[in-house]
Structure 1
Amino acid sequence: MQEDVGAEITEEPAGGGDAPAPAPEPRGREAAPGRGHTIVIGAGLAGLAAADRLAGAGERVTVLEGRDRTGGRVHSVREWDGTTFDAGASWMRGEENNPLADLVRSLGLRTAVFNRSTETAYDPKGRRLLFDRHRRNMEDVNLLQEHMYWANIGAGPQDSMEQGIDQALYDANLVRARARDAKEIVYRMVEADHGADAEEVSFEAVGAVHEFSGDDVVFPDGMGQVTDHLARGLDVRLEHVVLGVAHGGDGVSVRVDAPGGEETLTADRVVVTLPLGVLKADGVDFHPELPEDKRLAIERLGSGRLEKLFLRFDEVFWGDAEVLVHLGTEQGAWFHWYAGQRVLGAPVLVSRNGGAPARFLAAMSEGEVVEHAMASLRTMFRKAPDPLDHHLTAWTDDPFARGAFSYSAVGSGDGDRVALRASVDDRLFFAGEATEIEHMATVHGALLSGLRAADMVLEAQD
């Protein structure tokens, strides 16, 4: 929530036209001398990054995906007269020295940032806050975060983010309205960043994440372009739901429910990129069972809940603001709105709700969620019209996701992510954002994990 001026949308790459793109050359279909066959479970960013690197190194690769599309929790939706929006992962966190940014630039993809200098805040009654009041609130938030960072040094695994926030409020000597507003903003930030409540998130998570510098950017044409590129020419088998994974001295076998019925595929090894939420649901049978430290890590780490609502209107009624903040909403829902008139090129508002606000909305029907959102918007904009259309995500109920991303729950720590990423007998390898220590819950973390797992597979053969 910095107040920096957002950069302009980068120029679209030259070329294009309406001619269909040529079919990509098949790759990874045969093993080069000295290489073998690896099955990759999951065609999300982690799985496709692993498969892309393995295929490039001469490995035979088979990618199994339960959905009828690639991308996993990256899902670009194109349904509103050419407007593309990312229902899943959408932000690239820091574009400087970020390996994902390097890939994005090499592909010539358009990126954009929301203009934070236009950020406008409203009080619980829908009255616009004076600029100086909102600036003071954000200065208080930055002060709280600084105190939380230093207090985190002495934190233990059982300390929660809630306890850290309360201690920071005391240390910063914030009281009354200033303490109330700063605390609410930090709570909403925790819910959006972790998909969980402050009392559920480990306070140690404050200093655990390494952030790249530079702007946080989104993709006007969809982040799905990245996964589409990584999947080019690979043997990706959609609607292949993995039921079980077995391994032994002779290799691995993966049992799947495929369109033609149940079947078993064999290979030399497997890279598992199932989301933490799916592993926690225990829907895949491992034989022999996973090591105890890995099972305990799956149990201790948290799978966050975060959902988005996109609203499309016939015109912009909220002014030039690209970021809206609404304090004091019911159950904390609809705290943040991002306006897409410049970034997406259409009058679209999107809000993210995580943790308790997401659970509050989950008890409603889809129509009730939209009505609740509009009631909140009309507190700020009395004459806001009904939306022309909407899109509401349901990642928590998605059987192939079971949540948005991982978070460090109270009682968990870096050791759990180390255990989760460890290979088993040089047959089972693991990737996904949940296996990352410094880059968990990020798209670049998923990318790095896939590359790391692929390198481990290749090293095991040398």
Structure 2
Amino acid sequence: MADRGDVSGEITEEEVAGGGPEHTEPEPRGRESAPGRGHTLVVGAGMAGLAAADRLAEAGERVTVIEGQARTGGRIHSVHDWEGTVLDAGASWMHGDENNPLSALVRDTGVRTTAFNRTTETAYDPKGRRLLFDRHRRNMEDVNLLHEHMYWTTVGAGERESMEEGIDQALLDANLFRGRARDAKEIAHRLAEGDHGAEPEEIAFAAVASLHEFSGDDVVFPDGMSQLTDHLARGLDVRLEHVVTSIAHDGDGVRVAVDTPDGDETLTADRVLVTLPLGVLKAGQVAFEPGLPEDKTGAVERLGNGRLEKLFLRFDDVFWGDAEVLVHLGTEEGTWFHWYAAQRVLGAPVLICRNGGRAARFLAQMEEGEVVEHAMASIRTMFRKAPDPVDHLLTDWMEEPFARGSFSFNAVGSTDDDRTALAEPIGERVFFAGEATEVEHTATVHGAMLSGLREAARILG
């Protein structure tokens, strides 16, 4: 983030004319190595890469960040296409704002946060009839009971056992049957698809107990989560539209081949930190010389690559009442289960829905206009006279060449050992970070940040 040019507290003529104080470029940092330090290339300007680069630069390391896209942020992407409204097309939540390591960065940047008011959550049945408050509360109590039984059952779970098997066993242990079992199972499925970007049949049941959660509110960023990565990138040597094609290393250092707008180039350094998303590694878009060790290639193959897509719908007016979270049960292929009403959070009549796993794959077979029509059919089941949206934004992270997916998950047949293997450096030359290399904080922004800080400490150590 830029520094203010005038800090006297007085209003200058430039501010009156330009609408704000003049900003200056941040001081360059990480451009030269301090005595005893070297040069690190960081592949990827997402949260993991920039958190590492920020820490390395502060410690006197020379750092060059290489990013294939024309922007920083990676799978954090704040879109400013709608006047006055910022949409986080990628990562958007800070899960638990108490004791979360991301909280310190949020405080440093001074960005605004807010939480959706879940006390207003309203649920509708498959025919669009609003559920009584007591009925929805009972459903959520049943889901919490289900999760509690699932947690303890994971103690003896094998790596070939799926979350679907765990859910079915938990339904029996919790003594849930008929309508209560149906609703609890559906909600558990939708929550799993949102958390892992995959269907319960694909998710390793043993992974349920390995995730670490923080207390406090789950908060979002009305002015965009990209402010966090912008802050970390300030003053660094970040080279955009530099697409890495190969990474080679030997006893003398590393050589990274890149395709740039000005042609092919090879960058050399003492070491490289690779923060490529799991989907990019699976696609084999970057060649390694020598090839990656077998434990790493096996981990890349076994770990799951989750898909979570968002649809933003903008309307002229709010027609859904005061509720900020809408739940729609019994929809086709589990689509449009959770709607977040952002009139208070974003200051505009916007509905946001996240579709993961089966729902995301089902919608991916449609044209964009058909997806919007399908969404509106669901909305009009709940609100008969809902008008057409005046604008929309639909994500497609699986087709994004520098992401190839939304986040990693432990697939059936994979274990936490695969994440540990993926994080292991190759000698003193090639290091690895990213949420896929984290065991307790997978698929989160704070997990990506922690992985970058972990590898920065390893390099500096």
- Report the 3-state secondary structure (helix = DSSP H, G, I; strand = E; otherwise coil) of the residue aligned with 2:23: coil
Q: Partner of 1:420 in structure 2? A: 422
Per-residue deviation, residues 170-203 of structure 1 (Å, max 9, x unmatched): 1111111100000000000000000000000000
Q: 2:24 aligns with which of 6, 19, 22?
A: 22
Alignment of structure 1 residues 376-455 onto 2, 5 Å: 376-455=378-457
Shift, 1:47, TM fit: 0.3
Q: Partner of 2:235 in structure 1? A: 233
Shift, 1:378, TM fit: 0.3
Unaligned runs of 5+ in 1: 1-14
Shift, 1:81, TM fit: 1.7
* In structure 1, distance between residues paired with 2:395 and 2:434: 21
- Is 1:256 paired with 2:258? yes
* In structure 1, distance between residues paired with 2:271 and 2:20: 41
* In structure 1, distance between residues paired with 2:178 and 2:84: 48
- Report the 3-state secondary structure (helix = DSSP H, G, I; strand = E; otherwise coil) of the residue aligned with 1:186: helix
* In structure 2, distance between residues paired with 1:433 and 1:18: 37
Shift, 1:450, TM fit: 0.4
* In structure 1, distance between residues paired with 2:254 and 2:347: 48
- Report the 3-state secondary structure (helix = DSSP H, G, I; strand = E; otherwise coil) of the residue aligned with 1:90: coil
Unaligned runs of 5+ in 2: 1-8, 10-14
Q: Partner of 2:107 in structure 1? A: 105
Q: Partner of 2:177 in structure 1? A: 175
- Report the 3-state secondary structure (helix = DSSP H, G, I; strand = E; otherwise coil) of the residue aligned with 2:282: helix
* In structure 2, distance between residues paired with 1:71 and 1:65: 9
* In structure 2, distance between residues paired with 1:265 and 1:110: 38
* In structure 2, distance between residues paired with 1:238 and 1:326: 41
Runs of 4+ in 1 over 4 A off after TM superposition: none
Q: CA RMSD in A?
A: 0.9
Per-residue deviation, residues 80-99 of structure 1 (Å, max 9, x unmatched): 12101100000001111111
- Report the 3-state secondary structure (helix = DSSP H, G, I; strand = E; otherwise coil) of the residue aligned with 1:229: helix
Query: How high is the sequence identity, in percent, across the aligned residues?
Result: 74
Per-residue deviation, residues 71-116 of structure 1 (Å, max 9, x unmatched): 0000001121210110000000111111101110122111000001
Moved more, 122-131 or 73-82: 73-82
* In structure 1, distance between residues paired with 2:91 and 2:22: 27
Shift, 1:20, TM fit: 3.9
Shift, 1:61, TM fit: 0.5
Q: Partner of 1:201 in structure 2? A: 203
- Is 1:365 paired with 2:354? no
The one-letter amino acid paired with 2:242 is: H
Per-residue deviation, residues 395-425 of structure 1 (Å, max 9, x unmatched): 0000100000000000111100000000001
- Report the 3-state secondary structure (helix = DSSP H, G, I; strand = E; otherwise coil) of the residue aligned with 1:179: helix
Q: Partner of 1:6 in structure 2? A: none
Shift, 1:22, TM fit: 1.2
* In structure 1, distance between residues paired with 2:23 and 2:137: 48
* In structure 2, distance between residues paired with 1:185 and 1:272: 37
* In structure 2, distance between residues paired with 1:82 and 1:63: 31
* In structure 2, distance between residues paired with 1:134 and 1:144: 15
Alignment of structure 1 residues 131-146 onto 2, 5 Å: 131-146=133-148
Shift, 1:18, TM fit: 1.8
The one-letter amino acid paired with 2:119 is: S
* In structure 2, distance between residues paired with 1:91 and 1:230: 18
Shift, 1:19, TM fit: 2.6
- Report the 3-state secondary structure (helix = DSSP H, G, I; strand = E; otherwise coil) of the residue aligned with 1:24: coil
* In structure 2, distance between residues paired with 1:129 and 1:254: 57
The one-letter amino acid paired with 2:154 is: N
Per-residue deviation, residues 243-265 of structure 1 (Å, max 9, x unmatched): 00000000000001111111100
The one-letter amino acid paired with 2:89 is: A
* In structure 1, distance between residues paired with 2:20 and 2:315: 28
* In structure 2, distance between residues paired with 1:368 and 1:358: 14
Q: Partner of 2:342 in structure 1? A: 340
TM-score, normalising length: structure 1: 0.95
Q: 2:268 aligns with which of 257, 266, 269?
A: 266
- Is 1:247 paired with 2:249? yes
* In structure 2, distance between residues paired with 1:302 and 1:149: 21
- Report the 3-state secondary structure (helix = DSSP H, G, I; strand = E; otherwise coil) of the residue aligned with 1:228: helix
State the aligned residue count.
445
The one-letter amino acid paired with 1:453 is: E
- Is 1:326 paired with 2:333? no
Shift, 1:300, TM fit: 0.5
Q: Partner of 1:7 in structure 2? A: none
* In structure 1, distance between residues paired with 2:168 and 2:227: 42
Q: 1:38 aligns with which of 24, 37, 40?
A: 40
Per-residue deviation, residues 295-340 of structure 1 (Å, max 9, x unmatched): 1001100110110000000100000000000000011000000000
- Report the 3-state secondary structure (helix = DSSP H, G, I; strand = E; otherwise coil) of the residue aligned with 1:63: strand
Shift, 1:21, TM fit: 2.2
- Report the 3-state secondary structure (helix = DSSP H, G, I; strand = E; otherwise coil) of the residue aligned with 1:396: coil
Per-residue deviation, residues 362-385 of structure 1 (Å, max 9, x unmatched): 000000000000010000000000
The one-letter amino acid paired with 1:448 is: L
* In structure 2, distance between residues paired with 1:432 and 1:221: 24
Q: Partner of 1:220 in structure 2? A: 222
